[in-house]
Amino acid sequence: MSETAPKTELMRSLGRLVRGLSALFWGLPIALVACVQTATTDWIRSLGPYGLIVPAATNSLLFYGLWLMSDFQKQERIWMLALDRAKILGLVNIGLSPFLRWHQQLPDVPFFYYAVGVMALSALVFLFNLNQMLQRLTAMLPDETLRTETKVFTSFNGLLLVFIPAFLALHFTLVQIRNLPYSMELLLRILQPLSPWLLLFLTLLPVAITMSLIWKIKEAILASVFGPEH
Protein backbone atom coordinates (compact mmCIF):
# COMPACT_ATOMS: atom_id res chain seq x y z
CA MET A 1 0.00 0.00 0.00
CA SER A 2 2.81 2.41 0.91
CA GLU A 3 4.51 1.74 -2.43
CA THR A 4 1.32 2.13 -4.46
CA ALA A 5 0.49 5.62 -3.18
CA PRO A 6 3.71 7.33 -4.37
CA LYS A 7 3.43 5.58 -7.74
CA THR A 8 -0.16 6.74 -8.13
CA GLU A 9 0.84 10.29 -7.23
CA LEU A 10 3.70 10.18 -9.75
CA MET A 11 1.40 9.00 -12.53
CA ARG A 12 -1.06 11.74 -11.65
CA SER A 13 1.63 14.41 -11.77
CA LEU A 14 2.96 13.03 -15.07
CA GLY A 15 -0.53 13.15 -16.53
CA ARG A 16 -0.92 16.78 -15.50
CA LEU A 17 2.55 17.52 -16.85
CA VAL A 18 1.64 16.10 -20.26
CA ARG A 19 -1.62 18.04 -20.33
CA GLY A 20 0.24 21.18 -19.35
CA LEU A 21 2.74 20.70 -22.16
CA SER A 22 -0.14 20.20 -24.59
CA ALA A 23 -1.74 23.44 -23.41
CA LEU A 24 1.55 25.27 -23.94
CA PHE A 25 2.03 23.72 -27.37
CA TRP A 26 -1.35 24.87 -28.65
CA GLY A 27 -1.49 28.03 -26.58
CA LEU A 28 1.69 29.60 -27.96
CA PRO A 29 0.58 29.98 -31.61
CA ILE A 30 -3.02 30.78 -30.65
CA ALA A 31 -1.94 33.52 -28.24
CA LEU A 32 0.54 34.93 -30.76
CA VAL A 33 -2.04 35.15 -33.55
CA ALA A 34 -4.78 36.51 -31.28
CA CYS A 35 -2.57 39.20 -29.75
CA VAL A 36 -1.00 40.34 -33.02
CA GLN A 37 -4.35 40.43 -34.81
CA THR A 38 -5.96 42.32 -31.95
CA ALA A 39 -3.17 44.89 -31.89
CA THR A 40 -2.89 45.45 -35.64
CA THR A 41 -6.31 44.77 -37.19
CA ASP A 42 -9.97 45.35 -36.46
CA TRP A 43 -11.09 41.76 -36.99
CA ILE A 44 -12.06 41.33 -33.37
CA ARG A 45 -14.74 44.02 -33.54
CA SER A 46 -17.19 41.43 -34.87
CA LEU A 47 -17.12 39.80 -31.42
CA GLY A 48 -18.38 42.97 -29.79
CA PRO A 49 -17.59 43.36 -26.09
CA TYR A 50 -16.34 39.77 -25.95
CA GLY A 51 -13.46 40.73 -28.22
CA LEU A 52 -11.73 42.35 -25.28
CA ILE A 53 -11.25 39.03 -23.52
CA VAL A 54 -9.86 37.06 -26.49
CA PRO A 55 -6.18 37.98 -25.92
CA ALA A 56 -6.59 37.45 -22.17
CA ALA A 57 -8.24 34.08 -22.75
CA THR A 58 -5.48 32.85 -25.04
CA ASN A 59 -2.81 33.96 -22.58
CA SER A 60 -4.79 32.28 -19.82
CA LEU A 61 -4.41 29.01 -21.71
CA LEU A 62 -0.64 29.36 -21.35
CA PHE A 63 -0.97 30.07 -17.64
CA TYR A 64 -3.27 27.08 -17.27
CA GLY A 65 -0.63 24.86 -18.85
CA LEU A 66 1.99 26.12 -16.42
CA TRP A 67 -0.39 25.62 -13.51
CA LEU A 68 -0.96 21.99 -14.51
CA MET A 69 2.78 21.40 -14.56
CA SER A 70 3.29 22.74 -11.04
CA ASP A 71 2.43 19.36 -9.47
CA PHE A 72 5.49 17.69 -11.00
CA GLN A 73 8.58 17.31 -8.79
CA LYS A 74 7.62 19.96 -6.25
CA GLN A 75 10.72 19.18 -4.22
CA GLU A 76 13.04 20.38 -7.02
CA ARG A 77 13.69 23.99 -6.04
CA ILE A 78 15.36 25.15 -9.28
CA TRP A 79 12.58 23.65 -11.40
CA MET A 80 9.87 25.25 -9.27
CA LEU A 81 11.60 28.65 -9.37
CA ALA A 82 11.78 28.53 -13.16
CA LEU A 83 8.13 27.51 -13.30
CA ASP A 84 7.08 30.26 -10.90
CA ARG A 85 8.90 32.91 -12.94
CA ALA A 86 7.07 31.78 -16.06
CA LYS A 87 3.73 31.84 -14.22
CA ILE A 88 4.32 35.38 -12.94
CA LEU A 89 5.12 36.60 -16.44
CA GLY A 90 2.07 34.75 -17.72
CA LEU A 91 -0.10 36.67 -15.26
CA VAL A 92 1.51 39.93 -16.38
CA ASN A 93 0.64 39.12 -19.98
CA ILE A 94 -2.95 38.34 -19.03
CA GLY A 95 -3.26 41.63 -17.17
CA LEU A 96 -1.85 43.67 -20.05
CA SER A 97 -3.86 41.90 -22.77
CA PRO A 98 -6.82 44.35 -22.80
CA PHE A 99 -4.47 47.18 -23.72
CA LEU A 100 -4.00 45.58 -27.14
CA ARG A 101 -7.63 46.28 -27.94
CA TRP A 102 -7.67 49.69 -26.30
CA HIS A 103 -4.56 50.79 -28.15
CA GLN A 104 -6.04 49.59 -31.44
CA GLN A 105 -9.14 51.69 -30.78
CA LEU A 106 -7.30 54.73 -29.36
CA PRO A 107 -3.81 54.74 -30.89
CA ASP A 108 -3.14 58.35 -29.86
CA VAL A 109 -3.27 57.62 -26.13
CA PRO A 110 0.38 57.37 -24.96
CA PHE A 111 -0.44 55.22 -21.93
CA PHE A 112 -1.99 52.52 -24.10
CA TYR A 113 1.00 52.65 -26.45
CA TYR A 114 3.48 52.15 -23.62
CA ALA A 115 1.36 49.39 -22.09
CA VAL A 116 1.46 47.48 -25.38
CA GLY A 117 5.22 47.98 -25.52
CA VAL A 118 5.58 46.61 -22.00
CA MET A 119 3.46 43.61 -22.94
CA ALA A 120 5.59 42.92 -26.01
CA LEU A 121 8.71 42.97 -23.85
CA SER A 122 6.99 40.83 -21.22
CA ALA A 123 6.03 38.30 -23.89
CA LEU A 124 9.66 38.01 -25.01
CA VAL A 125 10.82 37.55 -21.42
CA PHE A 126 8.06 34.98 -20.91
CA LEU A 127 9.25 32.99 -23.91
CA PHE A 128 12.84 33.25 -22.66
CA ASN A 129 11.84 31.95 -19.23
CA LEU A 130 9.70 29.25 -20.80
CA ASN A 131 12.79 27.95 -22.58
CA GLN A 132 14.73 27.99 -19.32
CA MET A 133 11.89 26.09 -17.68
CA LEU A 134 11.97 23.44 -20.41
CA GLN A 135 15.69 23.04 -19.89
CA ARG A 136 15.12 22.50 -16.16
CA LEU A 137 12.40 20.00 -16.95
CA THR A 138 14.55 17.89 -19.25
CA ALA A 139 17.30 17.90 -16.62
CA MET A 140 14.97 15.72 -14.53
CA LEU A 141 14.19 13.31 -17.37
CA PRO A 142 16.31 10.23 -18.13
CA ASP A 143 16.73 10.95 -21.87
CA GLU A 144 20.29 12.24 -22.31
CA THR A 145 19.80 13.04 -26.00
CA LEU A 146 16.73 15.12 -25.22
CA ARG A 147 18.61 16.99 -22.50
CA THR A 148 21.44 17.86 -24.86
CA GLU A 149 19.12 18.87 -27.68
CA THR A 150 17.02 21.02 -25.38
CA LYS A 151 20.08 22.75 -23.96
CA VAL A 152 21.38 23.59 -27.44
CA PHE A 153 18.11 24.94 -28.79
CA THR A 154 17.14 26.85 -25.65
CA SER A 155 20.53 28.56 -25.74
CA PHE A 156 19.97 29.46 -29.39
CA ASN A 157 16.50 30.72 -28.56
CA GLY A 158 17.93 32.82 -25.76
CA LEU A 159 20.27 34.56 -28.18
CA LEU A 160 17.40 35.24 -30.58
CA LEU A 161 15.18 36.63 -27.85
CA VAL A 162 17.94 38.96 -26.68
CA PHE A 163 18.65 40.05 -30.25
CA ILE A 164 15.04 41.09 -30.97
CA PRO A 165 14.83 44.01 -28.50
CA ALA A 166 18.44 44.94 -29.29
CA PHE A 167 17.58 45.06 -33.00
CA LEU A 168 14.50 47.19 -32.37
CA ALA A 169 16.37 49.57 -30.07
CA LEU A 170 19.16 50.01 -32.61
CA HIS A 171 16.70 50.55 -35.45
CA PHE A 172 14.66 53.18 -33.60
CA THR A 173 17.83 54.92 -32.43
CA LEU A 174 19.26 55.17 -35.93
CA VAL A 175 15.95 56.43 -37.32
CA GLN A 176 15.96 59.29 -34.81
CA ILE A 177 19.52 60.37 -35.57
CA ARG A 178 19.96 63.05 -38.18
CA ASN A 179 22.94 63.52 -40.47
CA LEU A 180 23.84 59.86 -40.61
CA PRO A 181 26.53 58.78 -43.05
CA TYR A 182 25.17 58.16 -46.52
CA SER A 183 25.96 54.45 -46.37
CA MET A 184 23.97 54.12 -43.13
CA GLU A 185 21.02 56.04 -44.56
CA LEU A 186 21.07 53.82 -47.63
CA LEU A 187 21.09 50.73 -45.44
CA LEU A 188 18.12 52.01 -43.44
CA ARG A 189 16.18 52.71 -46.64
CA ILE A 190 16.85 49.19 -47.84
CA LEU A 191 15.87 47.65 -44.51
CA GLN A 192 12.78 49.80 -44.00
CA PRO A 193 10.38 47.69 -46.12
CA LEU A 194 12.04 44.50 -44.90
CA SER A 195 11.92 45.34 -41.19
CA PRO A 196 8.41 43.96 -40.50
CA TRP A 197 9.24 40.69 -42.24
CA LEU A 198 12.57 40.42 -40.46
CA LEU A 199 10.89 41.06 -37.12
CA LEU A 200 8.22 38.48 -37.95
CA PHE A 201 10.90 35.90 -38.78
CA LEU A 202 12.85 36.66 -35.60
CA THR A 203 9.66 36.23 -33.57
CA LEU A 204 8.30 33.11 -35.24
CA LEU A 205 11.59 31.23 -35.19
CA PRO A 206 11.97 30.99 -31.38
CA VAL A 207 8.25 30.25 -31.05
CA ALA A 208 8.54 27.40 -33.55
CA ILE A 209 11.65 26.01 -31.84
CA THR A 210 9.95 26.21 -28.45
CA MET A 211 6.89 24.37 -29.78
CA SER A 212 9.13 21.69 -31.24
CA LEU A 213 10.89 21.20 -27.90
CA ILE A 214 7.58 21.05 -26.04
CA TRP A 215 6.30 18.38 -28.41
CA LYS A 216 9.47 16.29 -28.12
CA ILE A 217 9.44 16.49 -24.33
CA LYS A 218 5.79 15.47 -24.23
CA GLU A 219 6.44 12.53 -26.55
CA ALA A 220 9.46 11.46 -24.49
CA ILE A 221 7.37 11.44 -21.32
CA LEU A 222 4.57 9.47 -22.96
CA ALA A 223 7.07 6.98 -24.37
CA SER A 224 8.70 6.48 -20.98
CA VAL A 225 5.34 5.84 -19.32
CA PHE A 226 3.36 3.95 -21.95
CA GLY A 227 6.15 2.71 -24.22
CA PRO A 228 7.17 3.85 -27.71
CA GLU A 229 3.93 2.56 -29.25
CA HIS A 230 1.64 4.90 -27.29
pLDDT digits (tens, 9 = 90+) for 55-92: 899 999 999 999 999 888 888 889 999 999 999 999 99
pLDDT recorded at residue 170: 73
Domain of 70, in residue numbers: 4-226
Residue 169 is predicted with a pLDDT of 77
Q: CA distances (Å), 23 to each of 10, 17, 80, in order? A: 20, 10, 18
Residue among 84, 26, 17, 85 at smallest CA distance from 222: 17
Q: Are 138 and 147 in contact (CB under 8 A)?
A: yes
Smallest CA-to-CA distance from 66 within 128, 95, 23, 15 is with: 23
Segment-wise mean pLDDT, segments of 10 residues, the chain, 230 residues: 61 86 94 85 70 87 93 86 94 92 85 89 93 91 87 91 80 70 70 68 88 92 69
Q: Which pLDDT score is estimated for 126? A: 95
Check residue 31 and give left, alpha or beta (phi > 0: left; psi -120 to 50: alpha).
Answer: alpha
Question: Which pLDDT does position 184 carry in this prediction?
Answer: 67
Number of structural domains (the chain) is 1
**Predicted TM-score (pTM) of this structure:** 0.85
Instruction: Specify the pLDDT at position 1.
Output: 42
Sequence-separated (6 or more) residues with CB below 8 Å from residue 30: 58, 61
pLDDT for 75 equals: 84
pLDDT tens per residue, range 123-147:
999 999 999 999 999 988 888 888 8
